[in-house]
Structure 1
Amino acid sequence: MKYLLFAVLIISTLLSSANAANHSPLLISKPKIVGGEVANKDSWPWMSALVFTFSDTDSDLNVAGTQYQSEPFSYSPAGQASANMVDCGLGDKVCTLATNKICLIARGDIDFSDKAMNCQAAGGIGAIIYNNVSGVINGTLGEDFSGNIPVIAISQNDGIILLNNLDNIATISLTIKQQLAQNASCGASFIGDKWLLTAAHCVEDANIEFLKVNIGEFDLSDGANNAKAIKQIYLHPEYDEGSAFNNDIALIELVESIDNASVKLLDNSSSTQLAMAKSPATVIGWGNVNAYGPNDEQPDNSQPNQLRQVELYLLSNDECKNKLAQAHGELNNTTFTPDQVGITDSMICAEFFGDVQKGSCQGDSGGPLVVNTNQGWQQIGIVSYGVGCANAAFPDVYARVGHFTEWINNITQGIAIEASYDFAITPQDRSQITLLTVTNNSEFTANLRFELFSDNFDTHGFSLNTDDCTLLTAKHSCQIQVNFDAKLVGKQKVRIDITTVAADIPTSQSYISAQAVAANSDIESQLSNGSADFRWYSGGDQPWQLDNTEPAIISGIIGEDQQSAVLLTFSGAGSLSFDWSVFSEENPDAADEPFGVLSLIIDEQQINFITGEVAYTKVTIDDLAEGKHQITWLYQKDGGTREGQDKASLKNVIFTPLITPPAGEPISAPSEQITNKSSGGASYFILCLLVMLTLKRRQV
């Protein structure tokens, strides 16, 4: 769920922030199909699904003849185990009574993999991990899991039942299917050659090593072997989730061209005429089929395997604004003007008539809204967002395809560059470098020129090296080097413009952002613990501050959609330990969309985050290699969150250098290692392989 403010409507962060209590005025969700029907299998040959493919696993749990709902942990070994159960608590230590038994373990602030290994180390032959909130856990043991016992997940309620039935025989079974399976996250449409259209919010954090595209898909229960690899994703350079998903469009480039039917795109003028006439339009997707209102609890996942479609009616933007203003006013018992609801020229709206609830819903995002014209079916929109699902008062909102014709052509037929790049938060007086890929998708060799621009004509420490890209032949790529020298504290943003000697070759732009933070001697004195090598920096919207009650620091007082960062730099191999805590509003409905979050970033890689109310917890990061390191603790708040203390804390930061033992003596193993698979109800895991998506077969 997304909530919008009056002025700044939704923020886009690494973790896709959301908020639920002390509600900001406008409630938004990313959509799905409601009230429709199964599509004709051959009607939409260009309809595509964004998928992850994987070896599917079936799990089964039977206790004393009673079957319980269970889910497999990804990377759990296959196998079967049958024995009495033993209560192993949180699984935070070796479960001494587990020999030849099945461990029953509660979810908590310990990695799932550690829980399983503590069971196995005691002689356990299988593990059942039960949730500490409603629903069944959807988790991972991590691709480096070295255990060999089957591990499954069950709900909190079932876990309580089993705690009272420990003497009964439990049978766990995990079976890996031979057939490749797929998990659909969003829809897309094939527009020809090697190009597809989808919503920017579907792919803004996607890892193209694992995300694939299934073109002409109909039934998600088969066909995973047909999924195609992605070469590049181009988000619109002015995509802004903070403005109600404005410019919510992205192009996907496949590794190879595909000989497949494509959908035609409708121009902007025709889109406006059809909207004014309230013309019928059809939306297609694999999204949820259950309707709910803006104040209703989101129902359980109901995404179908087979493609569905539903007919709606277009609205002009003025009609859409007026409808939404009235609906939000009644919902919030206040007055909204049409200009406050966030509808822009890059959007188009559609609604249903009559008593039967119809619309798009979670899972349909990125899919097409099409109209039947005298040229056949043409795409007029891309599923973007909505309020609830199929609610008569709130029209669905789509990206208006005709508004982006020039941008689409610039990328697919001209000089394409990665739309944006955000440098990691940088200590003042240090520098960073990145390489951006430039591709010539035209039929001609291009002489290229690159220039930097900013709103105040000051490039603020940015510079370019474009020597390898001055002459670029057709259908080839090159790379330019972007440099950021962090001299000026604060946030900086520049635009890279590309021009060609031949004016008939279209070009695109890229936006580069960076943020420099200042050295902080107060934090250095408070937390360096005698280490002369520690250098501390802090900044963001507000720097971290000293906690005067103990030798600790706390995040700056920040508002909605803001962040507070503290950085530590040092050199050497060894381990780093610290205690961290957070008191923020957590999202009870979506673990991967926290409202207020404290993130740990090590050498530009996000490792973990905590959210909700988490008391001081010790973390040890082992095996830091020789060289320079930058550790960042980043506290972020979403739009509209006002519950809780809204602060993060840090103390006891200690670096232990690696001491090389004399020849012949082994190096002792570290006692604890943080991973990205935390199992806590407040400390949620991040699936690096799937970025923002999990390995659930069907997803809300």
Structure 2
Amino acid sequence: MIKFSNVAIAVITATSLSLPAVSATKDGSNKVGKPIISSKIVGGEEATQGDYPWMTALVTVSTEVDTTLTVGTDIIGSNAFSNGVSGDATAEIASCGLGGEVCTEVQDKICLIERGEFNFSTKAQNCEEGGGIGAIIYNNESGPLSSGTLGDDFAGTIPVIGISQEDGQALLDRVGEIASISVAATENLVQDSSCGASYLGNGWVLTASHCVDSEASASLKVNIGEYDLRDGAENAVDIERIYLHPDYNDSTLDSDIALLKLTQNVEAATVTVANKTQTESFENAASLTTAIGWGGRTGYEPGEGPTSDFPSILHQVNTNLMTNEVCAQTLATSYGEEDPALAGITERMICADVPDGGKATCQGDSGGPLLVQEGNEWIQVGITSWGSGCAAKGYPSVYARISAFEDWRLATMTGITLLNAKTFPTIRVGQSTTQTLTLINNSNSAQTIDLTTSGTTDIVLNSAACQTIEANASCDVTATYTPTQAEEVSLDITITAGDTSVKTYGASVNGRALIEATDVQTAFASLGTTASWYTGGNNAWMVNTEGHVESGDINDSQYALLETTITETGTLTFEWFVSSEANEDDPEAPYDALYLVVNGQLIDFISGEVPFTEKSVDLTEETNLVQWIYEKDGSTSAFEDKGALRNVSFASDTPVTPPPVEPPPPVEPPQPRSSGGSFGISALLLLPLLWMRRRFK
């Protein structure tokens, strides 16, 4: 799945573990049920300034020093180094290699130096000591030299600029020609867009959840009414709070919608949002749509890419809506699947396409609006979310269907909602863990609150601090999970306000526990420690008739986990086996695999047909949580479809075994893959499954 953003693969920030992209597809991107990369406008054109006054850019704002480089009549792109000095220089170009020693034959010339081996400051100083009056440092790998520092202690006095590898190598053939370089004395405020959005008014912005679901979102600002990214950075507004939809699934990109509350109200035009009736009417009529954004303009087939050619000017492209049934069938056919249900299109999504391809959103357009024009009014029906490839024939672009989220949107903007409700860390039966949820009142009056629950009794809610909540205020609710058996559980939370006219939207919290695997402990008695073994997930590990320990039967998008805690330093040795669907095109992005994780860090994995092979790993902590996880992707089984272990042993570094201690706290997972589906490794360990669909971010 491609989430439509500026990056080739949207990164999920994890507190501990990032496994390889196990959701990759056989062609590298488009396997059914996998996430994708982000998108931009392909096959479109520049928008007319003023046509979309509510169009919004999610931006990062920074300062930049202006530089210039001219050789003859050619103007070459360049960048400044931080901690450099301002100045101008015009002189012949002289080559100084890597600049590791004082440059020779550069008196009163501009030094051309390759990046590598030595600090930038050393290169610049060696140019100046040789008599150079300016320095050009070019990259040693493809692309521009867009960032670099000369260091806080740089004492040079000559201007220094950076350029791309391609431009630097071209200048090697122009040594002796006259060049002019300039580094400005003052900094300018600049912005870089990562996603689009639309303005709803009263300080509220609508975008895609995958645009704002990482820690990096803390640095984002919002620029309303943006058109040309090259100016207007000073207009960017801070975000006060991010509201991800509680059912947002960062793997399937279901419920990919978010609201942003700004720190101030902005007086600007607002977009009209389609209701359910309008959306269905437009969809059934295959209405002409317009998508807008600053995404890449280079299309590519699934498995290829990424895109390129990102514009500064807002672009637009026209496609046509299609029903979800047609969209799912089209994608399934392109994926080589018979069942349209495997295409990953839910009732909370909407699709648009042109039959011959060549026009679509792409990386960088994520979060932007999909629009239908009715008379003189633009109506937003979707939010750019994901696609396979960009503008490829047979692969429609997929958007979040805004009308499916009307209750949540209105309750969030004008009523009472819960934030932070998520899946608990996977823990062992008998343990306990607590998470804090935030109740927010965005209505214009104080409210008495009644929280009621249904579902499991293993999760207990404490809402004593939230019996009354002031207008535009928040309070904390705690949820404590103490599993009594190894099963997936859920607690649904309903909010009732004292004023029943105030809209509310509740949430669910979920948990899954591991049970002690006594048969596994018996099989691995040779381990030589007092460690206990635990298993769980969608099925348990068990001892087979040959005395090996193997993963239980699981279905697509499920996992089976086996873990133990070793409270010593030393070397763990075992033999492991797997018989699974492999990704022959990209072995580092397996489909189904057996993973080894130690203390939350991925150590290794095996996939395909791998006979029992010995593996050793050094355990360096006083307490080591060791996990083996067999996980399947969203479709297809191959071979025996399982992992197995045997001959597990441990050699301690010390003759004395420390007393047992509690295992380290489990890694906190993100939202489950879906509100009612399996948790999978991605939910358990923050696995970024981002290879089939590409996020248009």
- TM-score range, shorter-chain basis? 0.5 to 0.7
Compared CA separation, residues 468 and 225, structure 1 to 2 (3 A): same
Write out aligned runs for 1:589-668 (5 A). Answer: 596=593, 598=595, 600=597, 602=599, 607-608=601-602, 610=604, 616=615, 618=617, 634-640=629-635, 647=643, 652=650
Q: In angstroms, what is the RMSD of aligned CA positions?
A: 5.6
Give the counterpart of 1:562 among 541, 558, 563.
Answer: 558
Compared CA separation, residues 376 and 527, structure 1 to 2 (3 A): farther
How many residues align? The count is 562
Give the counterpart of 1:249 among 242, 249, 257.
Answer: 257
Q: Does the 8 Å CA contact 2:564/2:626 hold for their aligned counterparts?
A: yes
Tell me the equivalent position of 2:325.
321
Tell me the equivalent position of 1:667.
none
Tell me the equivalent position of 1:373.
374
* 1:30-82 deviations in Å (ceiling 9; x for gaps): 54311011223433333233345567899xxxxxxxxxx9999xxx9989998
Tell me the equivalent position of 1:90.
none
Percent identity for Structure 1 against Structure 2 = 28
Measure the CA separation in 2 of the matches of 1:446 and 1:631. 48
Measure the CA separation in 2 of the matches of 1:548 and 1:418. 48
Tell me the equivalent position of 2:407.
406
Tell me the equivalent position of 1:348.
350
Compared CA separation, residues 646 and 465, structure 1 to 2 (3 A): same
Tell me the equivalent position of 1:674.
none
1:48 aligns with 2:48: no
Give the counterpart of 1:301 among 308, 328, 345.
Answer: 308
Write out aligned runs for 1:109-124 (5 A). Answer: none
Measure the CA separation in 2 of the matches of 1:26 and 1:305. 33
Write out aligned runs for 1:334-345 (5 A). Answer: 335-336=338-339, 341-345=343-347
Measure the CA separation in 2 of the matches of 1:375 and 1:285. 21
Measure the CA separation in 2 of the matches of 1:21 and 1:692. 14
Residue identity matched to 2:314:
L
Measure the CA separation in 1 of the matches of 2:192 and 2:524. 48
Tell me the equivalent position of 1:287.
295
Tell me the equivalent position of 2:212.
203
Residue identity matched to 2:409:
I
Write out aligned runs for 1:267-666 (5 A). Answer: 267-294=275-302, 297-315=304-322, 317=323, 320-322=324-326, 324-325=328-329, 328-329=332-333, 332=336, 335-336=338-339, 341-352=343-354, 357-374=358-375, 376-418=377-419, 420-454=421-455, 459-521=456-518, 522-523=520-521, 526=524, 530-532=528-530, 534-544=531-541, 558-569=554-565, 585=582, 596=593, 598=595, 600=597, 602=599, 607-608=601-602, 610=604, 616=615, 618=617, 634-640=629-635, 647=643, 652=650
Query: Per-residue deviation at 1:252?
Result: 2.3
For the residue of structure 1 that corresponds to 2:400, the secondary structure is strand
Q: Does the 8 Å CA contact 1:568/1:632 hold for their aligned counterparts?
A: yes
Q: Does the 8 Å CA contact 1:37/1:310 hold for their aligned counterparts?
A: yes
Q: Does the 8 Å CA contact 1:369/1:380 hold for their aligned counterparts?
A: yes
* 1:282-334 deviations in Å (ceiling 9; x for gaps): 1011222222344x62355343333211122233x2xx5236525643662x6
For the residue of structure 2 that corresponds to 1:411, the secondary structure is helix
Measure the CA separation in 1 of the matches of 2:262 and 2:626. 35
For the residue of structure 2 that corresponds to 1:312, the secondary structure is strand
Q: Does the 8 Å CA contact 2:331/2:396 hold for their aligned counterparts?
A: no
* 1:336-390 deviations in Å (ceiling 9; x for gaps): 56x665544433332237x672111222222111223346222121112334322
Q: Does the 8 Å CA contact 1:19/1:640 hold for their aligned counterparts?
A: no
Compared CA separation, residues 200 and 102, structure 1 to 2 (3 A): closer
For the residue of structure 2 that corresponds to 1:35, the secondary structure is coil
Compared CA separation, residues 517 and 231, structure 1 to 2 (3 A): farther
Measure the CA separation in 1 of the matches of 2:616 and 2:194. 34
- TM-score normalised to the size of structure 2? 0.65
For the residue of structure 2 that corresponds to 1:274, the secondary structure is helix
Compared CA separation, residues 404 and 180, structure 1 to 2 (3 A): same
1:216 aligns with 2:225: yes
Measure the CA separation in 2 of the matches of 1:544 and 1:138. 50
Compared CA separation, residues 373 and 397, structure 1 to 2 (3 A): same
Query: Per-residue deviation at 1:655?
Result: 8.4
Q: Does the 8 Å CA contact 2:65/2:188 hold for their aligned counterparts?
A: no
Measure the CA separation in 2 of the matches of 1:396 and 1:406. 25
Query: Per-residue deviation at 1:251?
Result: 1.8
Deviates more, 1:21-30 or 1:476-485: 21-30
Q: Does the 8 Å CA contact 1:557/1:647 hold for their aligned counterparts?
A: no
Compared CA separation, residues 188 and 515, structure 1 to 2 (3 A): same
Measure the CA separation in 2 of the matches of 1:497 and 1:633. 37
Measure the CA separation in 2 of the matches of 1:138 and 1:608. 32
For the residue of structure 2 that corresponds to 1:542, the secondary structure is coil
Measure the CA separation in 2 of the matches of 1:612 and 1:84. 42
Structure 1 segments unaligned to the other structure (5+ residues): 4-11, 59-68, 87-100, 106-127, 156-174, 660-687
Compared CA separation, residues 582 and 362, structure 1 to 2 (3 A): farther
Measure the CA separation in 2 of the matches of 1:657 and 1:211. 53
Measure the CA separation in 2 of the matches of 1:393 and 1:276. 19
**Higher relative contact order, structure no. (Cα contacts within 8 Å, ≥ 6 residues apart):** 2
Give the counterpart of 1:258 among 261, 266, 274.
Answer: 266
Q: Does the 8 Å CA contact 2:300/2:392 hold for their aligned counterparts?
A: yes
Query: Per-residue deviation at 1:424?
Result: 0.8
